[in-house]
Copies of this chain bind each other. A is one copy, B any other.
Amino acid sequence: MSAPPVFDAGFAQQFAALLAWRRDVRRFRRDPLPEGLVDRLLAQAELSPSVGHSQPWRWVRVRDEAQRQTARNSFQRCNADALGAYEGERARLYASLKLEGMREAPEQIAVFCDHSTQQGHGLGRRTMPEMLDYSVVAAITQFWLAARVAGVGVGWVSILEPEAVREALSAPPEWKLIAWLCIGWPEEESDVPELVRAGWESGRQA
């Protein structure tokens, strides 16, 4: 154990820029990431807090084209349903949004929470069992920040049928899908969320 680090004003300023420019990315270049980079980012993600030190995150790197296609099909079904629930101008705006980069992103990871893990001996999740899922979300958040430090973009796709995705990947029934992550070099960068730029909040098309 070395001495605890002290972060100076210069680091704090750059860290603030990291948070501002982290962003959800849906427009990726197709060129691959350097060998080993995703593994290094996952190692940083796994320094994340977890309830009772349970570390329930399970990362499935999806490289098989048929499995990716199954997930894209699920997105398309869910997105069509979602579109059908909006009306008028908001439906037109929704239809114009690009909500995922599942065709372009060179790296894609399905992230699960292992509800069967014994690690941690149940500590801290007796009255709030959802803490196990939250631990995985914290790790994803750290992955996202670590990726942006390396200039890599991440997009979290949630417009999916979790069970259909789990089955397509032959993941155990005790694993709950938390996220589908698209990962790659971003085509563009901004410190303003894409949904804000698109006018989703206000209803106006920006």
A-to-B contact residues, CB < 8 Å: 1-2, 4-7, 11-12, 14-24, 44, 47-49, 51-53, 78, 81-82, 85-86, 90, 94, 99, 119-128, 130-131, 133-134, 137-138, 140-142, 144-146, 148-151, 156, 158-162, 178, 189-193, 195-196, 200-201
Question: CB within 8 A of A192: which of B1, B131, B189?
Answer: B1
Question: Which chain B residues lie closer than 8 Å to A178 at the CB level?
Answer: 134
Residue of chain B at shortest CB distance from A201:
B53
Q: Are B48 and A21 in contact (CB under 8 A)?
A: no
Q: Are A156 and B19 in contact (CB under 8 A)?
A: no
Q: Are B12 and A11 in contact (CB under 8 A)?
A: no
Q: Are A195 and B123 in contact (CB under 8 A)?
A: yes
Measured CA separation A148–B15 after assembly (Å): 11
Q: Are B49 and A156 in contact (CB under 8 A)?
A: yes
Measured CA separation A144–B44 after assembly (Å): 15
Measured CA separation A191–B85 after assembly (Å): 48
Given contacts A53-B200, A141-B138, contact A4 B44 (CB under 8 A): no
Measured CA separation A142–B142 after assembly (Å): 8
Residue of chain B at shortest CB distance from A2:
B191
CB distance from A14 to the nearest CB of B (A): 5
Question: Which chain B residues lie closer than 8 Å to A156 at the CB level?
Answer: 49
Residue of chain B at shortest CB distance from A3:
B189
Question: Which chain B residues lie closer than 8 Å to A137 at the CB level?
Answer: 134, 137-138, 141
Q: Are A7 and B14 in contact (CB under 8 A)?
A: yes
